């Protein structure tokens, strides 16, 4: 149990969901997302004590955040993991806590200098990249419900194909929504700071979440419970599920690795070090599965390469050592390494990316701005396009326009949406928007694409784009003054669900044709919404 004597400051940034497990470090990241009792305030720190920040951390923080700052019941306190909290705001969080966390206030317990020294300490990178290999991952794994205890059929009456997961970032929960009635049917605690889209198993029964702190959680959509968790990294970007449902791959910033997990019990299969031939290692920007290729495709942040990792039992010609080991006479591949890697050189470091609908082409955001088009079959960059701002390609969508496939992407730094002909690789339209945006969405059955402008001053607006006229035909303001961001359609494309991205936020359900509001469900800073059918069928209007 937690020793309250040591608890105080250690609860920095701690979600209310994160208490109630064993002390950190011994079982570092084993503390589950189960709830706990409110925390008693600490004994005041004597103002006369001038301790070194490391000592302050050890005494006040290590219990919950790990003596190595890698996290435990509370999140990791490393610069990489604190990326979304401005350093200038961290002192205020320590002094005054923040809404929806159980961390007590420390303003009257530590003096401003002590608080500032702690801030400086946690924003200082560790001297070396911490070890997080097979042993640590294995030790972190927890089976919460064994497979034999899971109900074979759904315990609810919702259409399993038309359910949504809604991530509520504000208090680190997720809500499962019936997509026909638009009624929440379950709400549960998640790990701290989920990021990236949760990914479904191919049959839609399970959903896998990744948190920025590296936790991968498996949730059963039939019995509505978390079934297993593993910490795949210390700082993780996102995860992907193989098209056969057997494997997960987590993309990590810390350490510089890809973690391959068994999708069944989340046990680690392999940790792949991400480094170039000449030595330097790289953070991983993102990983996705390319279903028809039976591969995970990976973009790298610090190496100008794209990696394709085949997960078939018998990988095809062209992968890794396969070429050398392929026996031309027998036509067999006898000594192939499992999960061989094919490395494709690209012209610039890539951030996020999307695929063409047939998965033969990767379209990636260059660090310098603009996009690179990579033909995955021939293994090289075929086109480069200069675009204004920074395209946000993970949010890119495609559709058929006058017999041609086009794609559209918001820009993180410019008030523009770029629409690109995917045959000629030419920008055919730059739509001026009310501000830079983060997410775009549509559906095969909808004439409209929805685009938020949540990064600008008109963050409460959402543009409706006619996909055949290539024009903004309407602009909605679901709640004036409040951030509106991220849309997801229901299974048939008849409704669009939009987030009011605020602590007192909501998911607003619109009729996708009349654009009239149908219902509003209060939620705590809802971020992404993920429809089972649209995700597992790889709808052209949503992220994959
Ligand atoms: Fe995201 C998806 C990268 C900041 C919310 N974001 C993704 C993906 C990548 C990415 C690579 C695709 C993964 C996937 O879906 O599997 N995000 C980045 C960044 O590099 C960036 C700009 C900086 C960072 O801090 O990492 C960034 N992202 C944010 C935020 O600040 C957001 C708005 C709030 C948050 O959660 O931190 C945010 N990102 C999201 C969401 C998705 C996402 C909700 C999933 C979108 C979807 O519908 O699929």
- What is the third-level CATH fold of 4-122? Cytochrome Bc1 Complex; Chain D, domain 2 (1.10.760)
Which has more confidence, 505 or 98?
505
Q: Which of 196, 350, 362, 529 to mutate to test the pocket of ligand 1 (most atoms within 8 A of CB)?
A: 196
Ligand 1 atom nearest to 286, measured from its CA: 11
Ligand 1 atom nearest to 210, measured from its CA: 16
* H or E stretch at 87: helix 87-96
CA dist 152 and 174 (Å) reads 23
- The DSSP bridge pattern shows strands 404-410 and 305-310 to be unpaired
List the domain boundaries for the chain: 4-122, 131-273, 433-544
Distance 452 CA to ligand 1 centre (A): 14
Reply yes or no on whether the pLDDT at 224 is more than 50: yes
Does 255 sit behind a cis peptide bond, omega within 30 degrees of 0 on the bond before it?
A: yes
- Sign for the pseudo-dihedral over CA of 64, 7, 11, 115: negative
Distance 224 CA to ligand 1 centre (A): 25
CA atoms within 13 A on the CB side of 493: 15
Q: Which of 79, 394, 437, 541 to mutate to test the pocket of ligand 1 (most atoms within 8 A of CB)?
A: 394
Residue 322 has what pLDDT?
A: 41
Residue 11 has what pLDDT?
A: 39
Residue 139 has what pLDDT?
A: 97
Strands (E), 5-86: none
Six token digits for residue 319: 């992968």
User: Which band of pLDDT confidence, cut at 50, 70 and 90, is reported for residue 328?
Assistant: low
**pTM as predicted:** 0.87
Distance 36 CA to ligand 1 centre (A): 29
**How far is CA 286 from each of CA 142, 171, 196, 364, 535, rounded to the nearest angstrom?**
25, 25, 9, 10, 17
Residue 317 has what pLDDT?
A: 72
Reply yes or no on whether the pLDDT at 255 is more than 70: yes
- Strand order of the β-sheet with 404-410 is 397-401, 404-410, 416-421, 426-432
Residue 50 has what pLDDT?
A: 53
- Asked, colleague to colleague, whether 131-273 and 433-544 share their fold, the answer is yes
Q: Which CATH number fits domain 433-544: 1.10.10.60, 1.10.730.10, 3.40.50.880, 2.130.10.10?
A: 2.130.10.10
Q: Which residues line ligand 1 (CB under 6 A)?
A: 83-84, 169, 195-197, 237-238, 285-286, 352, 394, 438, 486, 527-528, 543
User: Which band of pLDDT confidence, cut at 50, 70 and 90, is reported for residue 535?
Assistant: very high
Distance 82 CA to ligand 1 centre (A): 14
Residue 128 has what pLDDT?
A: 84
DSSP letters spanning 117-174: HHHHHHTSPPSSPPP--HHHHHHH-EESS-GGGS-SS-SS-S-GGGEEEEEETTTTEE
Q: Percentage of residues in the chain with pLDDT exceeding 70?
A: 86
Nearest-CA residue for ligand 1 atom 43 is 196
CA dist 319 and 425 (Å) reads 28
Reply yes or no on whether the pLDDT at 22 is more than 80: no
120 touches 113 (CB < 8 A): no
What is the mean pLDDT of the segment spanning 284-300? 97
Ligand 1 atom nearest to 193, measured from its CA: 36
Query: For residue range 417-461, what is the model confidence (pLDDT) as tens digits?
Result: 999 999 999 999 999 999 999 999 999 999 999 999 999 999 999
Helices (H), 296-374: 322-325
Distance 7 CA to ligand 1 centre (A): 31
| CATH class held by domain 131-273 | mainly beta
Reply yes or no on whether the pLDDT at 208 is more than 90: yes
Q: What's the mean pLDDT when you consider all of the chain? A: 87
* H or E stretch at 205: none
Nearest-CA residue for ligand 1 atom 31 is 84
Six token digits for residue 282: 């790289």
User: Which band of pLDDT confidence, cut at 50, 70 and 90, is reported for residue 70?
Assistant: confident
Which of 113-122, 272-281, 389-398, 493-502 ranks highest by mean pLDDT?
493-502
Reply yes or no on whether the pLDDT at 35 is more than 90: no
Distance 349 CA to ligand 1 centre (A): 18
Ligand 1 atom nearest to 169, measured from its CA: 36
Strands (E), 274-357: 284-290, 295-300, 305-310, 326-327, 332-333, 341-345, 350-355
Distance 237 CA to ligand 1 centre (A): 8
Distance 324 CA to ligand 1 centre (A): 39
Return the minimum-mean-pLDDT range out of 1-15, 43-57, 70-84, 160-174: 1-15
Ligand 1 atom nearest to 288, measured from its CA: 16
The partner residues of 186 in beta bridges, in order of sequence, read 176
Q: Which residue do the tokens 């070890």 mark? A: 131
Reply yes or no on whether the pLDDT at 467 is more than 70: yes
Ligand 1 atom nearest to 285, measured from its CA: 11
Q: Which residue do the tokens 């942040």 mark? A: 301
> φ and ψ at 465, to 5 degrees?
-110, 130
Distance 392 CA to ligand 1 centre (A): 10
For the chain, what is the radius of gyration of the CA atoms?
Answer: 23
Six token digits for residue 398: 């495609």
């Amino acid at each position: 149990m937690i020793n309250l004597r040591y608890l105080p400051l250690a609860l920095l940034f701690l979600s209310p969901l994160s208490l109630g497990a064993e002390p950190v470090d011994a079982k570092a990241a084993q503390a589950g997302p189960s709830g706990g009792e409110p925390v008693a305030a600490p004994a005041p720190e004597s103002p006369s004590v001038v301790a070194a920040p490391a000592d302050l951390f050890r005494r006040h923080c290590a219990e919950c955040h790990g003596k190595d700052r890698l996290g435990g019941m509370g999140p990791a306190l490393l610069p990489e993991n604190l990326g979304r909290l401005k350093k200038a705001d961290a002192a205020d969080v320590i002094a005054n806590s923040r809404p929806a966390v159980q961390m007590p206030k420390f303003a009257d317990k530590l003096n401003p200098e002590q608080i500032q020294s702690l801030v400086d300490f946690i924003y200082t990178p560790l001297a070396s990249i911490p070890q997080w290999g097979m042993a640590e991952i294995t030790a972190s794994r927890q089976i919460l419900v064994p497979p034999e205890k899971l109900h074979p059929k759904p315990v609810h009456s919702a259409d399993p194909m038309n359910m949504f997961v809604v991530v509520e970032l504000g208090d680190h929960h997720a809500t499962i929504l019936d997509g026909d009635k638009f009624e929440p049917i379950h709400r549960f605690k998640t790990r701290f700071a989920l990021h990236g889209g949760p990914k479904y198993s191919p049959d839609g029964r399970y959903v896998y979440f990744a948190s920025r702190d590296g936790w991968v959680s498996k949730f059963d959509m039939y019995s509505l419970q978390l079934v297993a968790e593993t910490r795949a990294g210390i700082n993780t970007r996102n995860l992907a599920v193989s098209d056969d449902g057997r494997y997960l791959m987590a993309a990590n910033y810390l350490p510089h690795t890809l973690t391959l997990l068994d999708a069944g019990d989340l046990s680690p299969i392999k940790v792949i070090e991400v480094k170039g031939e000449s030595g330097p290692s790289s953070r991983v920007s993102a990983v996705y599965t390319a279903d028809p290729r039976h591969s995970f495709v990976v973009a790298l942040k610090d190496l100008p390469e794209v990696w394709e990792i085949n997960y078939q039992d018998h990988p095809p010609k062209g992968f890794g050592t396969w070429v050398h080991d392929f026996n031309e006479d027998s036509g067999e591949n006898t000594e192939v390494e499992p999960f061989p890697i094919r490395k494709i050189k690209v012209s610039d470091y890539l951030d996020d990316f999307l695929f063409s609908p047939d998965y033969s082409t990767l379209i990636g955001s260059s660090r310098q701005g603009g996009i690179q088009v990579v033909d995955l079959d021939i293994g090289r960059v075929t086109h480069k396009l200069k675009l204004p701002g920074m395209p946000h390609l993970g949010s890119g969508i495609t559709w058929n326009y006058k017999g041609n496939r086009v794609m559209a992407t918001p820009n993180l730094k410019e008030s523009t949406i770029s629409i690109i002909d995917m045959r000629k690789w030419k920008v055919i339209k730059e739509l001026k928007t009310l501000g830079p945006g983060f997410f775009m969405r549509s559906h095969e059955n909808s004439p409209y694409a929805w685009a938020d402008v949540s990064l600008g001053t008109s963050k409460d607006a959402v543009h409706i784009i006619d996909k055949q006229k290539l024009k903004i035909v309407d602009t909605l303001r679901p709640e004036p003054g409040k951030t509106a961001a991220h849309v997801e359609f229901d299974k048939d494309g008849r409704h669009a669900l939009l987030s009011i991205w605020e602590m007192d936020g909501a998911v607003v359900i619109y009729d996708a044709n009349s654009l009239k509001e149908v219902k509003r469900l209060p939620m705590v800073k809802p971020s992404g919404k993920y429809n089972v059918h649209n995700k597992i069928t790889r709808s052209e209007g949503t992220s994959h």
